[in-house]
Structure 1
Amino acid sequence: MHLTHDPAAPAAATIGFDDFLKVDIRVGTIVSAEAYPQARKPAYKLLIDFGPAIGVKKSSAQITENHALADLPGRQVAAVVNFPPRQIGTFLSEVLTLGFADADGAVTLFAPDKMVPNGSKLF
């Protein structure tokens, strides 16, 4: 699968609503964030609390250009929680934290515009 940051790229192929429902996107609150200098591309290690049903999960996120470490704890983010864990260097990333590319291609986190309960599902 090829990911593009090009805002002029055409929409992806049409999928059925049932396919969309298979992707479990939840909101969580970042509990802690630390630098991950061993990553191939600049990244942070995040611990994100998705509430009692899912718990606290780890994520490697390439968000260093638009987000300072000190600003991340307490911030809500959206993530895909039902992909298999992925080994990122020495770190096992359990969820895919979601974001959009800015005009320069750097990632900006995607989050609700007001606080919602951890574990809330996108629909």
Structure 2
Amino acid sequence: MPTIKYTREDIAKLENERDQFQLERDSLIKDVEKLREEIEELKKYNYELELSVDSDLKQQVDKWFENWHYTKVKNDLLELELQETKEDYRIVNSKYTNLTEHIRLKALHNPSVSRYKDLMHYIDELEADTHD
């Protein structure tokens, strides 16, 4: 089996190559560390950005919900007011109908009393004005 003998120049060359590889390795390790730091920084930035976007969206949703709730409450109040107004109208209309029927019956049973006839004419004129 042949033995390989290295000369001093060969050993110096090999040591030189080894030193260069170590320098390259150290440089690559530093680059990898820089990349890791940049990645961590980007992760932090991305997280802060997501929090900011989430916060803005949450604020927009909260504002929209408040507006919706205010509108719903307002609509409910208007609906209640409408129902009360309809009930008031029904009561007033019922009283008006009862009064006019009473006056008509009085005019029918008392044809000689002019004030009932005058009231009937006045009611007819009012009803004619409201139908126009």
Give the TM interval when normalised to the shorter protein.
Answer: under 0.3
- The structure in which a higher percent of residues are helix is 2
TM-score for the superposition, normalised by structure 1: 0.17
TM-score for the superposition, normalised by structure 2: 0.16
Q: From the CA coordinates, give the structure whose radius of gyration is larger.
A: 2
Instruction: Flag the structure with more relative contact order, 1 or 2, with Cα contacts below 8 A and sequence separation at least 6.
Output: 1
- The structure in which a higher percent of residues are strand is 1
